[in-house]
Amino acid sequence: MQALVLAGGEGTRLRPLTYTTPKAVMPLAGRPFLSFMLDWLHSHGVDDVVLSCGFLSGDVRRVLGDIYQGMRLRYVVEDEPLGTAGPVRLALDEGILAERLVITNGDVLTDLDLSAEVAWHEERGAGATLGLVEVDDTTSYGVVPTNADGLVERFIEKTSGPVPTNRINAGVYVVEREVIEGIPSGRAVSFEREVFPVLAGDSLYGYHAESPYWLDIGTPERYLEGTWDLLAGRVDSTLPARDETGSLVFEGAVVAGAHVGPQTVLGRSCWVGTDARVERSVLHDRVVVGADATVTESVLGERVRVGEGARIGPGAMIGAGATIGEGAKVAEGARVDPDEVVAGTAAAG
Ligand code: GDD
Ligand code: MG
């Protein structure tokens, strides 16, 4: 079975981290995000994957390569962002698509039963089938009411108004080639705004998955939530064992005399000084945290340096290579750009 993964968005909501690393290969619990999705696709019999990239496409290819778990990986790179459906049309025009295709958003951590969705699609002879999950707050998703047989009645993308159901588009589709042939060529096209609303009421079905794990990791809050869920084993994965604080500390990290955890990820070759505290946070590779500093519920990109006694978070996001001076405070919810220098109390004099 063939799958196409949409991995070309700019990941604006995860800036500043996505200025230097595309969301698709952003480390999640120390692994490139897409490796979790590829493991899941593999477990449902996918053996051929097309990665649709635009923004920082070279990085995606460098990280994932051309073969993963025996699956063939190919890349289709667009010059200009083509939206969500435009890239699929581009792959069709490049002659590499099969008759039937699984299409997924590239930022979904899930164990949804894709095999059951494909079976559901086949039983109904659908043109396209959308995986649906239930969420409490539907405002940032596509809302998808169906009839009893699963026929999609309407597709309502991101509305803050009243909605008829809390079942939303999970970003996991099974699509027949004829539907892709109907997507206009050579311009940006949105599945959610142009394709699904037109197919609704006709050949578009929704497969409601019974309470799978499902999370779009594309915002800072959800990126941390996904990290904590992986650490706690709430979603299946092949991560190494966590320590007694529920944290993952990768090779080369030095943490003597520091308080690391709970629910923390230290990337490769991180260094955390004496009496520093790192709690419910994610440090990408080669981050240095000075003595007596505290990092709370925050994400630090690779090579960030935190001076002694600095205080970070909660909810802060620090871009790769930034320097936080001694005693500096990075406030709740603050963003620090890649390579930015935040002056410490020593520098302020
Ligand atoms: N190749 C390519 N080109 N990929 C793109 C582009 C583009 O121009 N724009 C976005 N993508 C990719 C993103 O990288 C992401 O993996 C996926 O398409 C969806 O884009 P998001 O920007 O993450 O959309 P969203 O989360 O706001 O909403 C979508 O996902 C929800 C579920 O998480 C919609 O599909 C909603 O209907 C859905 O409920
Ligand atoms: Mg998303």
Between the CA of 159 and the centroid of ligand 1 the distance, in Å, is: 16
Query: Ligand 1: which of 88, 107, 166 to mutate, judged by most atoms within 8 Å of the beta carbon?
Result: 107
What tens digit of pLDDT does each residue of 10-28 get?
889 999 999 999 999 999 9
The CATH number of residue 210's host domain is 3.90.550.10
Q: Does pLDDT of 262 surpass 60?
A: yes
| Shared-domain flag, residues 68 and 97 | yes
The pLDDT of residue 185: 96
Distance between CA atoms of residues 199 and 302, nearest Å: 44
Distance between CA atoms of residues 125 and 121, nearest Å: 6
Q: Does pLDDT of 92 surpass 80?
A: yes
What tens digit of pLDDT does each residue of 270-291 get?
999 999 999 999 999 999 999 9
* Mean pLDDT for the stretch of residues 169-184: 97
| Shared-domain flag, residues 281 and 327 | yes
| Shared-domain flag, residues 257 and 133 | no
Which residue CA neighbors atom 33 of ligand 1 most closely? 216
**198, 232, 266: which is the final residue of a domain?**
232
Ligand number with the minimum distance to the CA of 6: 1
| 243 found inside a domain | no
| 299 found inside a domain | yes
Point out the ligand 1 atom lying closest to the alpha carbon of residue 5.
16
pLDDT band at 348 (very low <50, low <70, confident <90, very high): very low
Point out the ligand 1 atom lying closest to the alpha carbon of residue 76.
1
Query: Which amino acid is residue 213, in one-letter code?
Result: Y
| Shared-domain flag, residues 121 and 194 | yes
* Mean pLDDT for the stretch of residues 160-184: 96
The CATH number of residue 317's host domain is 2.160.10.10
**200, 232, 264: which is the final residue of a domain?**
232
- CA distances in angstroms from 71 to 3, 35, 44, 65, listed in the order given: 10, 12, 12, 11
Question: Do 14 and 219 contact (CB within 8 A), yes or no?
Answer: yes
What tens digit of pLDDT does each residue of 229-250 get?
999 999 888 899 999 999 999 9
Which residue CA neighbors atom 37 of ligand 1 most closely? 142
| Shared-domain flag, residues 146 and 182 | yes
**178, 198, 232: which is the final residue of a domain?**
232
Q: Does pLDDT of 218 surpass 90?
A: yes
* Mean pLDDT for the stretch of residues 52-66: 89
Which residue CA neighbors atom 9 of ligand 1 most closely? 9
| Shared-domain flag, residues 225 and 299 | no
* Mean pLDDT for the stretch of residues 201-222: 94
* Mean pLDDT for the stretch of residues 184-201: 96
Residue of 221, 250, 248 whose CA lies nearest to 316: 221
| Shared-domain flag, residues 220 and 277 | no
Question: Do 49 and 41 contact (CB within 8 A), yes or no?
Answer: yes
Q: Average model confidence (pLDDT) for the chain?
A: 95
Between 60 and 90, residue with greater pLDDT:
90
Helix (H) or strand (E) holding 71: strand 71-77
Distance between CA atoms of residues 52 and 204, nearest Å: 23
The pLDDT of residue 256: 83
Say what the pTM is: 0.94
| 167 found inside a domain | yes
Q: Does pLDDT of 347 surpass 80?
A: no
Q: Does pLDDT of 207 surpass 90?
A: yes
| Shared-domain flag, residues 150 and 16 | yes
Distance between CA atoms of residues 152 and 164, nearest Å: 12
Point out the ligand 1 atom lying closest to the alpha carbon of residue 157.
37
Question: Do 3 and 105 contact (CB within 8 A), yes or no?
Answer: no
| Shared-domain flag, residues 266 and 211 | no
Point out the ligand 1 atom lying closest to the alpha carbon of residue 82.
8
Point out the ligand 1 atom lying closest to the alpha carbon of residue 87.
1
Between the CA of 139 and the centroid of ligand 1 the distance, in Å, is: 15
Domains in the chain, number: 2
| 320 found inside a domain | yes
The pLDDT of residue 349: 44
* Phi, psi (deg, nearest 5) at residue 243: -80, -175
Reading the block at residue 67, the tokens are 């073969």
Question: Do 316 and 330 contact (CB within 8 A), yes or no?
Answer: yes
Pocket around ligand 1: residues whose beta carbon is below 6 Å from it? 6-9, 23, 52, 54, 78, 81-84, 87, 105-108, 141-142, 157, 168-169, 171, 192, 216, 218
| 241 found inside a domain | no
Between the CA of 60 and the centroid of ligand 1 the distance, in Å, is: 16
Distance between CA atoms of residues 43 and 301, nearest Å: 31
Which residue CA neighbors atom 35 of ligand 1 most closely? 171
Between the CA of 105 and the centroid of ligand 2 the distance, in Å, is: 7
| 240 found inside a domain | no
* Mean pLDDT for the stretch of residues 105-132: 97
Domain that holds residue 257: 248-348
| Shared-domain flag, residues 83 and 210 | yes
Q: Does pLDDT of 308 surpass 90?
A: yes
Ligand number with the minimum distance to the CA of 105: 1
| 65 found inside a domain | yes
| 328 found inside a domain | yes
| Shared-domain flag, residues 154 and 58 | yes
| Shared-domain flag, residues 252 and 210 | no
Q: Cβ-count burial of 80 within 10 angstroms (0-12 exposed, 13-18 middle, 19+ buried)?
A: exposed
Between the CA of 51 and the centroid of ligand 2 the distance, in Å, is: 16
Looking at the chain, list the stretches that DSSP marks H as alpha helix, in order from N- to C-terminal side.
17-20, 33-43, 57-64, 86-93, 114-124, 177-181, 196-199, 220-232, 345-348
Ligand number with the minimum distance to the CA of 158: 1
DSSP state of 221: H
Which residue CA neighbors atom 1 of ligand 1 most closely? 8
